[in-house]
Amino acid sequence: GIGFMIWQSLRELKHGLALASSATKKLLEREKRKTLQGAIPGVSYVIPILSETILYFATVEEDSWTTRNEPVALVSAVIFCMVTTHTFVHSFTVLACSPNYRRTLLHNLQLLQWKLR
């Protein structure tokens, strides 16, 4: 759902820009950033659910004692992962899309890259 929405938006923006005026192009570029700013944290709900599901079925195949009577623990772990992952990704996306923080973030990443060499 979310991946398709991102793909469709980017496709429409790319093909629609050929016939658009310069003002419309600027507006669409801003809207593209806003769409990604909203969609990226939404994707962070999918990753914890998939990882917890894979772990669950991996332990079910082994008939592990951990999967017999613990569905509540599984749901709790999924909710915990979803909330913390979503919160982190949302905050990072908001900061990365802000012009001032983006410059600071890029500068800090360049410093980190220089220190790691």
pLDDT, one tens digit per residue, over 25-39 is 787 777 777 777 767
Do 8 and 59 lie in one domain? The reply is no
Do 53 and 109 lie in one domain? The reply is yes
Q: Averaged over 11-33, what is the pLDDT?
A: 74
pLDDT above 70 coverage of the chain, percent: 74
Please answer whether residues 75 and 67 qualify as being in contact, where contact means their C-beta atoms are separated by less than 8 angstroms. no
Do 36 and 52 lie in one domain? The reply is no
Whole-prediction pTM value?
A: 0.39
pLDDT band, very low/low/confident/very high, at 46 (cuts 50, 70, 90)? confident
Do 50 and 18 lie in one domain? The reply is no
Do 29 and 56 lie in one domain? The reply is no
pLDDT band, very low/low/confident/very high, at 83 (cuts 50, 70, 90)? confident
Do 38 and 54 lie in one domain? The reply is no
Do 30 and 48 lie in one domain? The reply is no
Neighbour-count burial for 65-103, b at 16+ CB within 10 Å, e otherwise: eebeeeeeebeebbeebbeebbeebbeebeeeeeeeeee
Do 31 and 75 lie in one domain? The reply is no
pLDDT at 72: 63
pLDDT band, very low/low/confident/very high, at 17 (cuts 50, 70, 90)? low
Q: How many domains does the chain have?
A: 2
Do 70 and 106 lie in one domain? The reply is yes
Q: Residue 84 sits in which domain range?
A: 44-117
Do 37 and 49 lie in one domain? The reply is no
